Amino acid sequence: MGQSQSSEPPRQVPIEQLSHELALRFASKCYSHLEITHYKDNFKSLADHQDALEYWKEDTINRFLCLPEALRAGPVIHQMCTYLGAFPFPTLAPCILTREAMIKVITIMTGRYKKVLKRGNRDKAKLLFRSLAVFDRRASIASLSEKPSMKDIIDEQKPDQMLEEEAAAKDSQPRVGGFAIDQPANDDEDEDDDDLALAALDSLDAIEVFKQDQVQKIDKKMIHAMIPTDNFRRLIMLLLLYGGLKPQSNLSEYGDSLDDSKLKQLEDAASSIVEAFEPDTAHNGIRYSNFVKVLSTTMPDTFEPLNALFEHFMFSKNINLSAHKGEVTAAATSVIPKTSLIYPPSDSTTSLLTETLLSQLSMSIHLGPAGSSPTNIYSSDVRFNQLFSTSSNGTSLSSFSRQVTSWETSTLLVISGTNATSEPIILGAYLPDRWRDSSTSHKEPSGPDASAASRACFFQLAPRHAIFPANPANRHIPISYFSNKTGIAIGCVVPPQPRSSAPPAPPVPGPASLTIDTDIATATFQHDLDAGQGAFVPDPGLCEAQAREPAKYPAKQTFEIDTLEIWGVSFPGGGGGDELERHRKKLEWEEAEAARRRGVNFGGDKDGARHLLEMAGIVDQNRSGGSMG
């Protein structure tokens, strides 16, 4: 009969046509009809026009996404879009942000491409790096004067026939090949295949085009490419601001909250995060190897806020959803107000745990009630309830014990201070097990529950972001330990305690550990690979930094404590919604029992009774003391 299909020549289709086909594939497979209707309305209502093209400019994206001017992240987001819009052909970048280009940007940013590109999940980090990186040694985004005009970019990507027609009427215009800063220095070396690009071309039956295109000549210079440090810091500040963002959150609320205090918080947190990516100080940029290493080990959810941010394109305020009765709607029908997971809502002047620190923490750790799969903090339906703070409860371990041991589920410890180099230091730990006062029990501390140990996490948020996961081999070292006689310990080995009147042996610091003295005045943080076994393992990036700069990152550092806070963690969706109420009632009962055991008989003078209990430290002045009748 005819020639077999395997002998047919490869499909010869211009890459512009393939790019068009991929955009159509994304639109039809990754979105509902209603979402595409919303997207088209948003795009058309704000689009600029030149010749026959509709496109979005940088300031249009900034306005639509409500990007605060103070963060100066708009040019960074725009650069990412003009690269991702050309996917899977980097030779087409920077591209015009047409409706088709933007649908590709949104599909990649939101992760919806997984519905079409099954093979490409693990390669998104490489694509994001390319969208942020520059390919010469200046390592900075081109100045406005170096950028081509929008007209130049549009002319660059017009079909040849259209250019020839225009040339017949006037001299042909010089073609612009993109931002000067983005020009690669090519050579003849090959690079490994790009899974995400291959998956895209495979979905279009056009794998051979990947070899015909110049993508390999561009990508092989990844080893020389860097993300400008200042640009990355701006982007991180934006991601921290939008922590907890939902697809239909009111974006303007986030910008409205950006006062000087909030801006300072974002700058400090972003600097700690950037430090974890080991920027090249000589060229002021972040290299690909460090970028991928941190995203794969320390901060897997760094870019999570971009998902919800770009989902906003799928909701238009101009469309009356009631007109689409009977159709399943994936878009929200109303704007969701900004909410806080911190109860009461955190105030930067009174609480160490702020929305910014919580957003930073959400980039690294996952939470969840016992028996469930841990998820991102903002997806876990979690609440943080302040149990103890040295700012309001003082520095007494008796007060610490009374407030914290009454909480029966997991907690979050956060501690701040100043290290020997006068830098702020912030450490903390997520502890799935409840606290127990070992001073009141002769029972030796036991190792952690297996499921709890796997969910525990020790971390540093400043001056460098680092994560110390639970040691999977640990079966006998307690995750946390508390005693009125020796203080507080995280990740330490607890020696057998004497049964005589001899002083108890202090905990032995592990490879990644924290000890806090009995008057909550000083703490010691240890990060030492040679320290033996422990409940937590060191951070690989911090270990490398210590080897290079031991003076800057000492294996052990003692610091004065500014603030120590313990937050009760509850999961309303997981059955923990009444935990705060149970904690309050238990405290009231314990206070009443303490008064009864002391044989205090106040008759009917309850006001006088409360005053005496406050003086004795049995009842806190800012909290109810329960029934004394």
pLDDT in tens, 484-507: 999 999 999 998 877 777 788 899
The pLDDT-based confidence of 212 (bands split at 50, 70, 90) is very low
Q: Each residue of 375-415: pLDDT tens digit?
A: 899 988 799 999 999 998 999 999 999 999 989 889 999 99
Q: What pLDDT, on the 0 to 100 scale, is given for residue 200?
A: 66
Mean pLDDT, the chain, as a whole number? 79
Determine the Cα–Cα distance for residues 101 and 87; give it in Å rounded to an integer: 8
CA distances for 480 relative to 149, 314, 454, 527, 560, angstroms: 59, 45, 14, 16, 20
Q: What pLDDT, on the 0 to 100 scale, is given for residue 162?
A: 47
Peptide bond into 344 cis (omega under 30): yes
432 touches 456 (CB < 8 A): yes
Determine the Cα–Cα distance for residues 313 and 101; give it in Å rounded to an integer: 13
Q: Each residue of 456-465: pLDDT tens digit?
A: 999 999 999 9
Using DSSP, how many helices (H) and how many strands (E) does the chain show? 23, 17
CA distances for 189 relative to 182, 186, 578, angstroms: 19, 8, 62
Q: What pLDDT, on the 0 to 100 scale, is given for residue 15?
A: 80
The pLDDT-based confidence of 448 (bands split at 50, 70, 90) is low
Q: Each residue of 20-54: pLDDT tens digit?
A: 888 999 999 999 999 999 999 999 999 999 988 99
Q: What pLDDT, on the 0 to 100 scale, is given for residue 328?
A: 42
The pLDDT-based confidence of 13 (bands split at 50, 70, 90) is low
Q: Has residue 163 got a pLDDT over 70?
A: no
Helix (H) or strand (E) holding 509: strand 508-516
Q: Nearest CA to 194 among 217, 210, 212, 182?
A: 210
The whole-model pTM stands at 0.81
State the DSSP code for 336: B
Q: Which residues pair with 427 in a beta bridge?
A: 415, 460
Q: Which residues pair with 467 in a beta bridge?
A: 459
Q: What pLDDT, on the 0 to 100 scale, is given for residue 604?
A: 57
Q: Nearest CA to 524 among 550, 492, 478?
A: 492
Q: Any idea what the Cα angle at residue 401 is, between residues 397 and 407, rounded to 5°?
A: 150
Q: 421 vs 518, which has greater pLDDT?
A: 518
Please state the length of the chain: 629
- State the average pLDDT over residues 175-186: 35
298 touches 466 (CB < 8 A): yes
Residue 196 three-state SS: helix
Lowest-pLDDT choice from 5-9, 16-20, 144-148, 368-372: 144-148
Q: Each residue of 503-529: pLDDT tens digit?
A: 888 999 999 999 999 999 999 999 999
Contacts of 505 (CB under 8 A, 6+ apart): 486, 495, 496, 497, 498
495 touches 478 (CB < 8 A): no
Determine the Cα–Cα distance for residues 593 and 271; give it in Å rounded to an integer: 49
The pLDDT-based confidence of 286 (bands split at 50, 70, 90) is very high
Map tokens 């400090």 to a residue. Answer: 268
Residue 406 three-state SS: coil
Q: Each residue of 251-272: pLDDT tens digit?
A: 999 998 899 999 999 999 999 9
194 touches 126 (CB < 8 A): yes
Q: Which residues pair with 367 in a beta bridge?
A: 375
Please give the structure tokens belonging to residue 95. 């591209």
Burial of 478 (0-12, 13-18, 19+ CB in 10 A): buried
Q: 173 vs 567, which has greater pLDDT?
A: 567
Determine the Cα–Cα distance for residues 516 and 514; give it in Å rounded to an integer: 7
Q: Nearest CA to 208 among 8, 376, 426?
A: 8
Determine the Cα–Cα distance for residues 341 and 571; give it in Å rounded to an integer: 11
Q: Has residue 228 got a pLDDT over 90?
A: yes
- State the average pLDDT over residues 427-438: 91
As a whole-number percent, the residues of the chain with pLDDT over 70 amount to: 69
The pLDDT-based confidence of 204 (bands split at 50, 70, 90) is low
Q: Has residue 344 got a pLDDT over 90?
A: no
Start-to-end CA distance of the chain, whole Å, equals 100
Helix (H) or strand (E) holding 488: strand 487-493
| H helix intervals, 220-303 | 229-241, 251-256, 260-276, 288-297
The pLDDT-based confidence of 278 (bands split at 50, 70, 90) is very high
